[in-house]
Amino acid sequence: MAESTHRNPHALVAHGGNLHEAAERYGIAWDDWIDLSTGINPHGYPVPPVPAAAWRRLPDEGDGFAACAARYYGAPDARHVLPVAGSQAAIRALPVLLPRARVAIAPLTYGEYAPAFAQAGHEVVSLDLADEAFAEALPDTVTHAVVVNPNNPTATRLDAARLRRWHAQLAARGGSLIVDETFADAFETSPDRHDATLAAATHLAGLVVLRSPGKFFGLAGARCGFALAAPGWLATLRAQLGAWTVSGPARHAVTHAFGDVAWQAAMRTRLAAESARLAALLQANGFAPHATPLFAWIVDARASALQDALARQGIWTRRFSAPESLRFGLPASAPEWQRFEHALTQAIQEIG
C-alpha cells in the first residue's frame, strides 16, 4: 500500500472510444478506422424495435426493470437494485455519500474512481491487486476500497472469497467495499452463473456492486447501469441522482437483452474463442498478453510507438503510461481481423 500518485482530480479522464480525436490527429476519415480502443463487444445485442410509447412516456419505475436486473445479476431482489444512467453516474455520486476517509484504489484501473473520491474529500491510496501481502487483510488504515473485477485494463481477477474477507474487514471499520463488475458478464459460464460475482451478497451493509450491460451486450450507447446494495443505501443514492435515470428506450433494450439466455450463452462461447485468437496473435508477435473475453492488455516500452504505427494504418488502440502498455479490443468481422493482423505485423517491423 502506498500513497497515491493518481492524477489531478479536476482533470478530464481519458477514455477509449475517442475516435474523433484519432481521426483528426492522423487525417484519416472516421469511417476508415477500426476502433479497438474500447472493451465493448463489437457484436452487440440485436435490440428489437422500440415501441413508440417508450419515446412518448416518462420511464415508469413500476415496470419491473429493477426486478429483471435482480434476476439477471443474482441480487437478492428488486429492492437491492437501482438502475442508473450508466455505472458512471454511480461512480461520481457514491463517494459523496460515504464518510470521508482513506480509500484504496488500484493505481492502474478504470480512471474515474480516483478523481471522484478525491473530489469528494477522501484520501486516495494505491492498492496493488497482485500483491499477495493483501490476500488475507487490507491495512487497518484503509476504510473504503474500490476493486474493478476483472480489472480494466490489467485483466486481474480476484476470487470472491478474498473480496468477501475484505468486505468483512472494511464493514467492521464502518467502511465500504465497492466492486465494479462491469466486465464480469462474459466470464459467467458455470451452471450457476452467479457464483463469480458478489451480487447475491448485496444485502450486507458496506457492500456496493456496480454492473453494466454496456460491455458484454454492446449497449454502451444506452447509458444504463445498475447499483446493487442494501435498500437503505440505495434510497440515499436514488435521492442524490433524482428521477428518471434510465430512459424508456434503454429499459426496453436492456430488458430484452437480459431475457435472451440463448444469445448470452452463444455470445460467451464466441467471445471466448475470439479472445483466445487475439491473445494468440499477440503472443505470435512477441507479446505476453493479459486477457479477458473482451480485451487484451500488453506491457511494452514501445507502446506509444506501436499505437502510433497502428494509428497511421487506421487502427485505434488504448494506451496507458504507467506502465507503458496497450489495450486491444476485439475486431468486429473477418475483414477487420485480417486488416488488424497485417497492420500489427507491419507496425512491429516499423518500430523494431
Q: How far apart are the first and last CA of the chain?
A: 36
Residues 240 and 218 in one domain: yes
Contacts of 62 (CB under 8 A, 6+ apart): none
| CATH assignment at residue 132 | 3.40.640.10
Residues 218 and 245 in one domain: yes
Domain that holds residue 289: 2-43+262-351
Residue spans of the chain under pLDDT 70: 1-17, 188-195
Domain limit, last residue, from 209, 234, 260:
260
Rounded to whole angstroms, the Cα distance separating 83 from 246 reads 7
Residues 256 and 267 in one domain: no
pTM attached to this predicted model: 0.93
Domain count, the chain: 2
Residues 157 and 226 in one domain: yes
- Which residues make beta-bridge pairs with 148? 180
Q: Determine contact, residues 254/245, Cβ cutoff 8 Å.
A: no
Residues 201 and 169 in one domain: yes
Tens digit of pLDDT for each residue in 138-165? 999 999 999 999 999 999 999 999 999 9
Tens digit of pLDDT for each residue in 166-175? 999 999 999 9
Rounded to whole angstroms, the Cα distance separating 201 from 235 reads 18
Q: Which amino acid is at 249?
A: P
Rounded to whole angstroms, the Cα distance separating 347 from 339 reads 12
| CATH assignment at residue 9 | 3.90.1150.10
Rounded to whole angstroms, the Cα distance separating 261 from 333 reads 23
Domain limit, last residue, from 218, 239, 260:
260
pLDDT at residue number 4: 47
Asked if omega into 323 is within 30° of 0 (cis), the reply is: yes
Q: Determine contact, residues 237/82, Cβ cutoff 8 Å.
A: yes
Residues 241 and 342 in one domain: no
Residues 224 and 279 in one domain: no
Residues 202 and 111 in one domain: yes
Domain limit, last residue, from 260, 284, 307:
260
Residues 267 and 253 in one domain: no
Residues 152 and 205 in one domain: yes
Rounded to whole angstroms, the Cα distance separating 307 from 84 reads 34
Residues 240 and 278 in one domain: no
How big is the chain, counted in residues? 352
Residues 138 and 242 in one domain: yes
- Which residues make beta-bridge pairs with 105? 126, 146
